[in-house]
Amino acid sequence: MSDSVTMDKIVSLCKRRGFIFQSSEIYGGLGSCWDYGPVGVELKRNVKNAWWRSMVESRGDSVGLDCSIMMHPTVWRASGHVEGFSDPLVECKVCHMRWRADQLDKPACPSCGGELTEPRNFNLMFKTFMGPVEEDAAVVYLRPETAQGIFVNFENVVTTTRKRLPLGIAQIGKSFRNEITPGNFTFRTREFEQMEMEFFVKPGTDEEWYRYWAGERFKWYLDLGIRAENLRMREHEKSELAHYAKACADVEYLFPIGWSELEGIANRADFDLTQHAKWSGKDLSYFDSQTNERFIPYVIEPSAGADRSVLAFLVDAYREEDVEGTTRVVLKLHPSLAPVKVAILPLSRNEKLTPLAKEIHERLSRNFVTEYDDTQSIGRRYRRQDEIGTPLCVTVDFESLEDNQVTIRDRDSLAQIRLPVARLEEALKAKLAGESFDAGSLWAGARA
Ligand code: GAP
pLDDT at residue 38, rounded to an integer: 98
Asked whether residue 443 carries a pLDDT value surpassing 70, the answer given is no
| Atom 16, ligand 1: residue with shortest CA distance | 305
pLDDT of 107-141, one tens digit each? 999 999 999 999 998 899 999 999 988 888 889 99
Any ligand 1 atom below 6 A from CB of 370: no
The predicted pLDDT at position 3 comes to: 59
Which of 261, 271, 299, 301 should be mutated for ligand 1, with most atoms under 8 A from CB? Answer: 261
Gap from CA of 241 to ligand 1 centroid (Å) = 14
Residue 143: CB within 6 Å of ligand 1? no
What is the separation of C-alpha 162 from the centre of its chain, rounded to a whole number of angstroms? 31
Give the per-residue pLDDT at 436.
78
Is it the case that residue 439 has pLDDT exceeding 50? no
Q: What is the mean pLDDT of residues 72-78?
A: 97
Burial 397-433 (b: 16+ CB within 10 A, else e): beebeeeebbbbbbbeeeeebbbebeebeebbebbbe
List, for residues 233-264, the tens digit of each pLDDT value: 999 999 889 888 999 999 999 999 999 999 99
Q: Which atom of ligand 1 sits closest to the CA of residue 303?
A: 9
pTM comes to 0.94
Q: With contact defined as beta carbons under 8 Å apart, do 185 and 258 qualify?
A: no
Query: What's residue 243's pLDDT?
Result: 82
Q: pLDDT tens, 168-182?
A: 999 999 999 999 989
Residue that wins the pLDDT comparison between 56 and 444: 56
